[in-house]
């Protein structure tokens, strides 16, 4: 998308190893999807949040991450924005949470 910020472009570049990641404008920011399942969002303040459920949310809580309102998305730890090696386990956990949630 032509109107994406540098922050958003950076996030998508970091997430590229996941596969065909797509975005959709929502919440004043973007929903981030893999295989038509939303696993992350970027709010209008350009903060990245990753999907969490009972299997991965404790990791976010242990890092002191806050949720995005009442939604099951937690702030990505700051170091995850440094590159794929820091992001990988967090992103894969968020994708897995989105798959588990979709199956319910």
Domain containing 46 — which CATH number? 3.30.1460.30
Number of domain units in the chain: 1
What local confidence, expressed as pLDDT, does residue 22 receive? 96
Q: What is the model's pTM?
A: 0.94
* 44 and 89 Cβ atoms separated by less than 8 Å: no
What local confidence, expressed as pLDDT, does residue 27 receive? 77
25 domain-assigned: yes
For 20-50, give one letter per residue: b (16+ CB within 10 A) or e: ebebeeebebbbbbbeeebbbbbbeeeebbb
Long-range own/partner contacts, residues 26-35 (CB < 8 A, 24 or more apart): 30/4, 34/95, 34/98
pLDDT means per 10 residues, the chain with 104 residues, are: 80 97 92 97 96 96 95 97 97 97 79
What local confidence, expressed as pLDDT, does residue 3 receive? 66
Give the integer Cα–Cα distance in Å for 57 and 60.
Answer: 5
Range of the domain at 47: 6-103
1 domain-assigned: no
């Amino acid at each position: 998308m032509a109107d994406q910020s540098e922050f958003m472009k950076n996030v998508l570049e970091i997430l590229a190893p996941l596969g065909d990641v797509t975005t959709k404008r929502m919440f004043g920011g973007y929903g981030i999807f893999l295989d038509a399942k939303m696993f992350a969002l970027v709010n209008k303040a350009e903060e990245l949040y990753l999907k969490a459920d009972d299997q991965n949310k404790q990791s976010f809580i242990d890092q002191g991450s806050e949720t995005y309102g009442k939604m099951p998305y937690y702030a990505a730890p700051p170091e995850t924005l440094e590159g794929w090696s820091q992001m990988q386990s967090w992103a894969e956990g968020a994708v897995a949470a989105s798959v588990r949630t979709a199956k319910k």
